[in-house]
Structure 1
Amino acid sequence: MRALWLLFTFILVISCTSDTTKHTDLINLAPTKSAVIIKTSSVEGLISAFKNNSLLNQFSGASALDKLHSQLQFLEHLKPSEDILLTFGRLNTDSLQVSVITKYHKDLFNLDSVPNHSVETLTSKGVSVIKTTIDNTTIYSVIKDSIFFASNDRLLTETAFEKRTSDPEFKRLYQTTGNGKSLSIILKTKPNFFEPKWFFDKQLNTLQLSNYMLLDAELNQDQLKFNGITTTTDSLKSLINVFKNTIPQENHLPKISPPDVDGFLSFSFHNYKIFNDNLSAYRRGTSTNDTAIFESIMEVGILYKNEQQALFLNSIDAPNMSNFLGVQSTVETYRDVTIYDSDHPSLFSNVFSPFISYKDASKYINIGDYFVFSDNLDVLRDIISSYQNGNTLSTSAVFIDLMAQLSDESSLFVYANGSHLKSILNSNFTADNPINPDGFNASALQFVYDTDFAHVHGITQKNKKKATSNAVYEDMSVTLDADVLTNPQFVNNHTNSQMEVVVQDVNNNLYLISKDGKVLWKKQLDSKILGRVEQLDIFKNGRLQLAFATQNQVYVLDRNGKNVGGFPLKFKDQITQPLSVFDYENNRDYRLMVTQGKSVLMYNKQGKIVSGFTYKKADDTINTQPQHLRIGKKDYIVFVQGKELEILNRTGQTRVKVKNNIDFSDSGIFLYNNRFTTTTAKGDLIQIDGNGKLSSANLNLGEKHAITATSKTLVTLSENILHIKSHKVELDFGEYTPPKIFYINDKIYVSVTDLQAKKVHLFDSLGKPIDNFPVYGISAIDLDNIDKEKRPEFVTVGDRNSIIIYQMN
C-alpha cells in the first residue's frame, strides 16, 4: 500500500449493475481492485504539473516513483479528445497495476514518429490485444465499442470488457465529478486498498478515517490544492462519522498557538453529548461516566512544537471548567498568568481517544475561554507570551494566506509546517532518500462534516518572501517537454482579465501556460509559428481567440486550444511572413492578410477571401510583415517588397506612391512622428510622409543594427551602443536581440537581451537601467502587467527547455 500513497502524493504534489454489451461510460471499465482513479481533461497539463511542481521534484530518484514514472511515460504519446481515466490498484499480485481508459479516435495513439518501439498482436482465448513496447516499457491495449483500454498488465487488458460487479459508491462519486475539471481523483480508502497517513499521531494513523474520497485537485508550481468530499458506507468503522449530526465550529486553536508551532490537530462540535455518543459508538461503548463537565467544550486540540506537546480546550463556560479542575497548587506566575498543577494528566486522553493520546497534561493555564495543558513549562510560557504580544499563528501572514483558501469552520483540522509535512510524507512510504519539501512551510487539511458526508479541503504551498522595493525576482519557471522554439509571449485571459503565456517547442507543440505555471493545454502544430500570436474576438462576445500562421496553415484557436470555425486554412505554397490582423474601425470585423513570397491574400474572420481587396502580387519578394498604420483619419497598409515601400489603402490600391528605391535593412517599418520610418542596410534613417516625400539622416549606425519605434520614441541598437531617444547607453560587447519598447503603467521600458552573457537588460526612457537589472535570460522578453496588481512582469526563456516569469516591484 505504500506505493499507492506514493502515487497519491505524486499526483497531488504530480457501477450500479454489471456491465452491459456497450461500454459507453468509462467508469464501467475501471478494474474491480482499483484503489485510485484519476480523471483528467488534459494529459499535457497533468504531465507538465508533475514535471514543474517543486514539491513533486523532491521525489525524483525514489526507485518506486521512477518505476511508476516509467509505466506512465506512454501517456506522452496519447492525444485524447475527451476525458481520460487512469486507474491504479493491485490484482492478485504485489505489483502496481496501471490502466488507462478513454474514448478512441484514429489519432489517439500514433507512434509513427516514435523511435525504439515495436507493436505486435497477441491472442488468447479468442481475445486479441496489442502489445506495444516503447524503449523498455510494455503496455497492452484493446479497443471495443469505441473505448480504448490500456494497461501494464496483460491479463487485466484481456479481461477489461468482461462483465463484472462494479463498486456502486465508486461510480456514484465518479458521476459527480465536474466536466472540464483538469484533475479529479477518487480514492478508495478502505483497508487493503489505499490507507494514507494524514496525522502526526502514529496510533491515529492506523485507523480508517472514511471509505472514499473525491478530490478536485489544482497543481501549480509552488502549490498543491484540493477540494472534495469523503463518504463512508460502514458508519461504525469510519472515524469521520463521530462528527455525524454535529455542526463544525470555528477553530480557535491558532489564536493561542505560537507562530512557529510545528503543527496541530483540532476538532470541534456544537454539542458535546452528540459527539460523545458518536465517539462511544465508535469505540464500542467505551465512554466517560461524567460528561457534564465537558458540555461547555466546543473545541479540543493538540499542538506540537520542538518535540513537545500541549493540549487545548475551548470552553464557552470557563468558570465551570475551572471549578471542575478545582483548587490546584500554583507552579508559577508568568506575565500575570498563573500556571497550575493538574491532578488529571491523562483525563483527556481517556475522554477524547483516539484523537488525543497525550497523557502528560500535568500543568495548565487558563486565558479567557482557553485552557492549555502541558508537562513542559517552556511551552506554556511561550503560549502566554505569544498571546499577550498578539503574535500568534492566526496573525502570521503565512497562516492568513492559507486560511484565505480554506473554510472558516471545520470538524477536523490538521496544520503542519515544513518539518511536520516532511514527517507526514516520509511516514507514508520508504524512499531511497528522505523527502525534503523545502520551502513548503505551510500545509493544512480540513474535514467539514455535512449530513452523511464531509467536505475535504487541503493545501500545501510555498510562501514567497515579501519583495522589497525595486526588487526583481523569479516568480515561476516552467519546463517544457522539449527545447523552446519561439520567444514566449503574454496573451489575455478573457475569463479573469489576467494574462497567460504562449510558447512553442522544437517539436512544434504550442503551449498555453497560466500565470501560476500550469500548462493548460498543449497542441501539435504542423511547423513553427511565424512572428507573434495575435488575439481576436471573432464572435464579439468578449471571448478571445489566438490567431497565427505557420509555414502552410493559418490557425484560429479558442481558449481550450480547439480550432474555430473554418480554420485552420491550409496552403500549398509556403507562407513567408507572420499573419497580419487588421481591425480598421475597432469593431472586430477583422481582416487576415497572408503573405506568400510576392503574393498576399486577404481573408475575413470566417476564413473567406475578401473579393474587394485588389492587390494580388508584388514585383518582388515581400520582405516585411504587412502592417496597418493610421495617420489622422487615414489608414494605410504598409510593407516592403524588394527595394520599394508599398503604401496601400484598404482595398489594396496604392494610397501613397514612393518613387525612391531604398536598400532596406531588416528592421521593418514603424510609424514615428507621423512618418513611415525605417533604416537602410548602411544604417541611414529613412522617413516618408503621407505624400510620399522621403527624407534621410545619418545616425552613424553600423551595418549590423536594429531599430524600433513608437509614435514619439525612437530606439536604435548598433553593435554595443543603444540610443533611447537622444540618450546613449554603452553596453558590454555581446550578441544582442533587437530592442523592444513597452509602455506599462504610464512608463516606457526598453529591453535588450545579451544572448552570449545570458542577461536581460531593461532601461527607462532616459536610458537609465532599471534597478536590479540585468537578470538571467536567453531570449527577448515580453513585458506586461499580467495580474490585477500594478507591478509588471516579464517572461523569457530560461534554460533551453524552460521559461521564466519575473516579477518587478
Structure 2
Amino acid sequence: MRLLCTSFILLMVFGCSKSNNKRSNILDYVPENTALIIKTDNIEGLNSGINNSDFLQSLSGTTIYTNLEKQLSPLTHLNPTSELLLCFSENNTDSMHYSVITKLTKNLFLTDSLPNYTEELLKYNNKSIKKHTVNKNTFYSTIIDSTFFASSSKQIVDQVFNSSFNDDNLKKLYKASGKDKTASLLLNTKSRFAPLLFIEDSLSLNLLTEYMAIDVELNQNDTHFNGIIKATDSTKSLINVFKNTIPQVNQIQNITPTNSDGVLAFTFNNFTKFQENLIKHQNKDSLNTNTNLFNDIIEVGVIYEGENRAIVLNSIDIIATQDALLSEQTNVDTYREIDIYSFSDPGVFANTFSPFITTSNANLYCIIDNYLIFSGNTEMLQNIIANYQNKTTLSTTSYFKNNKEHLSDASSLLQIINTASLKTLLNKNIPDKTSYNIEGYNATAIQFIYDTNFAHVNGIMAKNKKRAHVNTVSEELNIKLDKAILNTPQFVKNHITNQKEIVVQDITNSLYLISNQGKILWKKQLQGPVLGKIEQIDIYKNGRLQLAFATPNRVYVLDRNGKEVKPFALKFNDNITQPLAVFDYDNRKNYRLLVTQGKNVLMYDTKGNTVKGFTFKSANSNIISQPKHFRMGTKDYITLKTENKLYILDRVGKTRVKPKTSYSYSNQPVFLYNNAFTTTTASGDLVLIDSKGNVSSRNLNLTEKHHIETTSKTLVTQSENKLVIKNKTTELDFGDYSNPKLFYINNKIYVSTTDLQSHKIYLYDSQSKLLPNFPVYGNTSIELDNIDKDSNLEFVTKGENNSILLYQIN
C-alpha cells in the first residue's frame, strides 16, 4: 500500500554522531523487537509499483492504509541512491513505530522547499539527534558511521547508538533475499504484523513457521512473490510435518469446480512418515482410528463452497483404497451414473489431519476416477460430479493457467481462493467497514514446498483479464508517474529478454526505464530534456545494448541499469540543436555519434574522441533537421539540411552529391524514397534528388505546415486534415494532429496520427484503411511494436498528464 511507498520515500536530514562500535551493514542498525523489515533497492520502482497496483489502490480508502500513509507522510522527500530498510517494531505499550535506515548520500533530503517544516538539534550524552516536524508530524534522525537512521520514536534513535541487531534468523533471511524485485519483506510471524493467509481458521502463518522472507514483484494487474519460511522449533512449527516427505504434483485443481470458493491441498509421498510428524505436532501418542483409508493417498484436499466442505483424497492405487471402504457400500443416491454412498466415520479426517482439516460432518462420499470425495452435503457432491464431467474445473480456466506459470507443479501445501474468499481474508486482516472492489482476482494462490529445515514459498495474486476478442484494442497498462510527462514514450529493446521496454522523461528531466509489465526499473536525473528519439547501440560488441541520446548540453550513453558509460556524458558549452545522430556505416558496431550545434557538426567515436577524419565543420546556416545516414550499394551518404541548402556528403564529410537545383526547404527530415534523397520545400512541394544530383519536384498540394514519412517505397504525407498514404487520401476531422508515424512490422505497413485536440489516436494500414476499433484515447503520437512473447502488437502513448498508456491490438 502507499504506506509502503510513502514509507520509503522517507527521511530527511543530517545529524552528526559517532559510535564506538562500527557496523558494516545497514542491517546492523535495525532496532530491537523489529517484527517486519521491508527492503528495497529501487525506491522509485517501489513507489510506482504501489501507486500503479490495481489491488493495492483498491484498498487505499481503508482506515489502516490512510492512517499509516498519514503517519509516514513527513518522510516523503527522501532520495536514497542505495538500499533502504523500513522497519516496524512494537514497544512495551504495544505501540507501533517505524524506522528507516539507508546510507547517507548527497541530496538525500532537501528541506529548502518544504512548507511547514521545522527542525531542532538535540545534544546530550555525546549524542546528536535531530527532531523534524512536518505539518505537525514528528520524527527523529541521526547519522552514525555514514548511515542515516530515522524513527518515529526518539527512544529507538537513542538505543541505536549502543545496540546492534542480533536476530540471527532474520539476518540469514536478509542475505537470502533478492536484489531485483520491487521489495523484500522479512517477517517474524509471532508479531501482530503476521497476516492471516488461510481460509481455515485453524491454520495461521505463525502456526506454520516462525520466520518468513519473500521477494515481492508489484505489477499493475498482478502481484507475485517467492521466498522461504524457516522454523527453528521442529515440533511447534507446522511446516515441519512435511519433514522427510517429498512434495507431489498437485492434481486437486482437476476435480475442483470453477464455482468453488477455494481449495486447500497438502501432499506427501509417504503417509506413514507424514502421520508420524503430524502426531508429534498434535501432541498425541497415536491415532485411535483406522487409517488404512489413507495408505495409498498422496494428496488430500478441502474444497470450500460457502459453509460447506468437501474432502478429496487423491489415490495412486484406487483399487486398494476402495478395499478400505468395503464396509462403506450403502448407496444413498446416484447422480449422473455416479453412486453416492454413506460414510460412518466422518470424524476421521479431523482426527487424522487436524489442523489442516477441521470438518467432522463428511458422512457421504463418491468415487470419480482416482479421486474419493467426502462431504456432508449431497448438493456439493453433485456439483463436483457435474463440473468434472462438464470439464469446468479450476484447471480448465484461463486465470488458473495464467497464475500457474508463477507456481511449481508440486507443493507440500497449496491454497487457491476466489475473489469472495480473498475478500473474506482481507476483512480478517483489515477490520474496516470501508468498502473496496477487488473483482477479478479469481485464483489467488500460495504454496509451500518443503526442503531441508525450511520451505520455499510462491504466491500469485492476479486480476483476471477478460478474454480479448479478435480485432479489439485493449488497454493493458496505465502507468502513473509522480510528475507530468515531458515527451512521447518510446520502446527500447531489452537485450536479455529480447522484449521491449518503455523509456520516457518527466518535466523534471528525470528519465525512466519501465518494463513491459509496468514496473519502473530505474529513474535517472538528466541535465535537460532529451532531443528527439533515443537510440540503442552496442558499444562493447557483446550484445548488451546502451541508450544513446543528447540533451541541450550533454551527450549521454547509459547502460541497462541507467549508469553512465564512461567517458560519457560528454558536456558542451554551446547548445546542441538537433537530436543525436548515430551512424554505423558497415553494421560492424563502429558507431559514429554526430552532434549538431547550430550550423556546426561534430563527430565522435564511442570513446568520446572527436573523429579527426571527418572534415565537414560548418553549414552555410543553422541545420534544421536531424542529420541522416544512408547506404546505397557500396556507398555511404550523410545528409544535412539548412533552410536553403541540402548537403549530401561522404563518410569523411566531403560533398558526394551536389543537387543541381536549390530550394527553400521545410524542417521535415530527409528520407531515401525510390532511391532518391527525398524531402519537402517550405511551400510543401516534394523534392527528389538522385545520386547524380538530378532534381525533380512534385506539387502535392501540401500547406506550409505539413509532415512526411517514407519507407523505401511508401510515401505518407499529412497536411491539415488530409492524410495521404500511397496516393490514397483520407480526410480526417479538423484538429491539431501530431506528426504521422510510419511502421513496417512483419512485412506490413501501419500509419498512425494523433489528434491532440480531441485526444484520438488513428491507425491505418497501407491501403489507408482505418484499423478496427480505432480511434482510441491518447495524447501523443504512438510507438508501435511487438513488445512481448505473444504475436499481438502493442503501442504506447501518453494518457493523462502523468500517465503512460499501453494498448494491445488483438
Change (3 A) 1:136 1:642: farther
Name the stretch that deviates more: 744-753 or 323-332. Answer: 323-332
Q: 1:676 to 1:145 in 2, by over 3 A?
A: same
The question of whether the paired residues in 2 share the 8 Å contact of 1:243 and 1:275 is answered with yes
Shift of the alpha carbon at 1:223? 1.1
Query: After superposition, what is the alpha-carbon deviation per residue over 1:632-684, rounded to whole angstroms, capped at 9, x for unaligned?
Result: 32222212223222222222222223464422223222221122222222211
The answer to whether the 8 A contact 2:5-2:50 is kept is: no
Secondary structure, in 3 states, of the residue corresponding to 2:207? coil
The answer to whether the Cα contact below 8 Å between 2:793 and 2:809 also exists between their aligned partners in 1 is: yes
Distance across 1 between alignment mates of 2:593 and 2:504: 21
**Contact conserved, 1:10 with 1:50, CA < 8 A, in 2?**
no
19-28 or 161-170, which deviates more: 19-28
Q: Is the 8 A contact 1:717 1:723 kept in 2?
A: yes
The range that moved more, 748-757 or 23-32, is 23-32
1:527-546 deviation per Cα after TM superposition (whole angstroms, max 9, x unaligned): 11110111010000000000
Structure-2 residue corresponding to 1:374? 375
Residue in 1 that maps onto 2:193: 194
What SS class does the counterpart of residue 202 from structure 1 fall into?
Answer: coil
1:767-806 aligned at under 5 Å gives the runs 767-806=768-807
TM-score (normalizing by structure 1): 0.94
SS at match of 2:28: helix
Give the CA deviation at 1:240.
1.3
Query: Is 1:596 matched with 2:597?
Result: yes
State the shift of 1:242 in Å: 1.7
Q: CA deviation at 1:513?
A: 0.6
Q: Aligned in 2, Cα 1:490/1:356: closer, same or farther, shift over 3 Å?
A: same
Change (3 A) 1:206 1:105: closer
**8 Å Cα contact 1:263/1:303 also seen in 2:** yes
Question: Per the alignment, do residues 715 and 754 of structure 1 end up closer, same or farther by CA in structure 2, a change over 3 Å counting?
Answer: same
Spell out, residue by residue over 1:523-574, the C-alpha distance to the aligned partner (whole angstroms, 9 max, x if none). Answer: 1112111101110100000000001111211111000011111111111222
Q: For residue 530 of structure 1, give the secondary structure of its aligned residue in structure 2.
A: coil
Quick one: which amino acid aligns to residue 201 of structure 1? E
Take 1:710 and 1:6, find their aligned partners in 2: how far apart are those partners?
Answer: 47
1:139 deviation in Å?
3.6
1: CA distance, partners of 2:623 / 2:506: 27
Moved more, 655-664 or 383-392: 655-664
Which letter maps to 1:363?
L
What amino acid is the match of 1:284?
Answer: N
SS in 2 for 1:701: coil
Structure 2: segments with no counterpart, 5+ residues: 9-18
Sort the Cα spacing of 1:753 and 1:592 in 2 relative to 1 into closer, same or farther, 3 A: same
> Relative to 1, partners in 2 of residues 1:10 and 1:366: Cα closer, same or farther, differing over 3 Å?
farther
- Is 1:31 aligned to 2:31, yes or no? yes
1:323 to 1:204, Cα distance in 2 relative to 1, 3 A: same
Structure 2 matches for 1:211-610, cutoff 5 A?
211-285=210-284, 287-293=286-292, 294-325=294-325, 326-610=327-611
Corresponding position of 1:721:
722
d(CA) in 2 for partners of 1:698 and 1:28?
75
The letter of the residue matching 1:220 is: N
Please state how far the C-alpha of 1:159 moved relative to its aligned partner: 2.6
Aligned to 2:91: 91
Q: Is the CA contact 1:37–1:186 (under 8 Å) kept in the aligned structure 2? A: yes
Tell me the equivalent position of 1:157. Answer: 157
| Whole-angstrom CA distance in 2 between matches of 1:415 and 1:44 | 32
**Gap change, CA 1:115 and 1:505, over 3 Å in 2:** farther
- Counterpart-to-counterpart distance in 2, 1:755 and 1:698: 28
1:275–1:127 Cα change, 3 Å: same
Other-structure match for 2:13: none
CA contact (8 A) 2:29 2:165 kept: no
Q: Distance in 2 between matches of 1:523 and 1:165?
A: 33
Following TM superposition, by how much is the alpha carbon of 1:165 offset from its aligned partner in structure 2, in angstroms?
Answer: 5.5
2:533 counterpart SS class: strand
Matched residue of 1:60: which SS? coil
Distance 1:541 1:120, change over 3 A: farther
AA partner of residue 51 (structure 2): K
Cα distance in 1 for residues equivalent to 2:549 and 2:351: 69
State the one-letter code of the partner of 2:157.
Answer: T
Alignment pair present for 1:734 and 2:724? no
Assess if the C-alpha contact under 8 Å between 2:6 and 2:69 holds in 1. Answer: no
Q: Identify which range, 336-345 or 121-130, moves more after superposition.
A: 121-130
SS in 1 for 2:259: coil
Q: Which residue of 1 aligns with 2:16?
A: none
Amino acid at match of 1:655: R
Q: List alignment gaps of at least 5 residues for structure 1.
A: 13-18
Q: Which amino acid aligns with 1:173?
A: L
Report percent identity of matched pairs: 50
Match of 1:63 in 2: 63
Q: Look up the SS of the partner of 2:359 in the other structure.
A: coil
| Bigger mean CA offset, 798-807 vs 159-168 | 159-168
Residues 2 and 60 in structure 2, CA contact (< 8 A), matched pair in contact too: no
Q: Which letter maps to 1:461?
A: A
Q: Which moved more, 1:55-64 or 1:494-503?
A: 55-64
Question: What residue number does 2:167 align with?
Answer: 167
Query: After alignment, is 780-789 or 147-156 more displaced?
Result: 147-156
Q: Which residue does the alignment assign to 2:654?
A: 653
For residues 134 and 710 of structure 1, the distance between their equivalents in structure 2, rounded to whole angstroms, comes to 57
- Deviations along 1:725-773, one digit per CA (max 9) or x if unpaired, are 1111111111110111000111000000011111110001110111111
Residue of structure 1 in register with 2:14 after alignment: none
Distance 2:428 2:760 in 1: 43
What SS class does the counterpart of residue 77 from structure 1 fall into?
coil
From the superposition, tell whether residues 605 and 110 of structure 1 become closer, same or farther in structure 2 (CA, over 3 Å). Answer: farther
Q: How many residues align?
A: 798
Task: Call closer, same or farther: CA 1:165–1:522 in 2, change over 3 Å.
Answer: closer
Q: Is 1:641 aligned to residue 637 of structure 2?
A: no
Confirm or deny: 8 A CA contact 1:44 1:76 kept in the other structure.
no
Which is worse superposed, 232-241 or 412-421? 232-241
Return the alpha-carbon distance in structure 2 between the equivalents of residues 315 and 340 of structure 1: 18
Confirm whether residue 764 of structure 1 aligns to residue 754 of structure 2. no
Alpha-carbon displacement from aligned partner over 1:198-229 (angstroms, at most 9, x marks no partner): 11122323862110111122111111111111
d(CA) in 2 for partners of 1:9, 1:682: 54
* Aligned CA distance change for structure 1 residues 204 and 83 (closer, same or farther; 3 Å): same
Aligned to 1:15: none
Q: 1:760 to 1:136 in 2, by over 3 A?
A: farther
Q: Give the conservation status (yes or no) of the 8 Å contact 2:509–2:529.
A: yes
Shift of 1:324: 4.1
* Counterpart contact for 2:289–2:348, Cα < 8 Å: no
Q: 1:575 to 1:132 in 2, by over 3 A?
A: farther
Contact 1:197 1:424 in 2 (8 A): yes
What is the aligned partner in structure 2 of residue 141 from structure 1?
A: 141
What are the superposed Cα offsets for residues 693-735 of structure 1, whole Å, 9 maximum, x if unpaired?
Answer: 3322211112222111121111111111110011111111111
Asked if structure 2 preserves the Cα contact closer than 8 Å seen for 1:121 and 1:130, the reply is yes
- Structure 2 match to 1:689: 690
CA distance in 2, matches of 1:121, 1:392: 65
The corresponding residue for 2:12 is none
Residues 563-605 of structure 1: CA distance to partner in whole angstroms, max 9, x if unpaired? 1111111112221111111111111111111112222221111
In 1, distance between residues paired with 2:260 and 2:152? 45
Distance in 1 of aligned mates of 2:321 and 2:766? 69
Task: Map Cα deviations across residues 275-313 of structure 1 (whole Å, 9 max, x no partner).
Answer: 222222212226422454232332222111243221112
Q: Counterpart of 2:15?
A: none
How far apart in 2 are the matches of 1:299 and 1:683?
75
Closer, same or farther in 2 for the Cα pair 1:697/1:359, shift >3 Å? same
SS of the residue 1:532 aligns to: coil
Q: CA deviation at 1:99?
A: 1.9
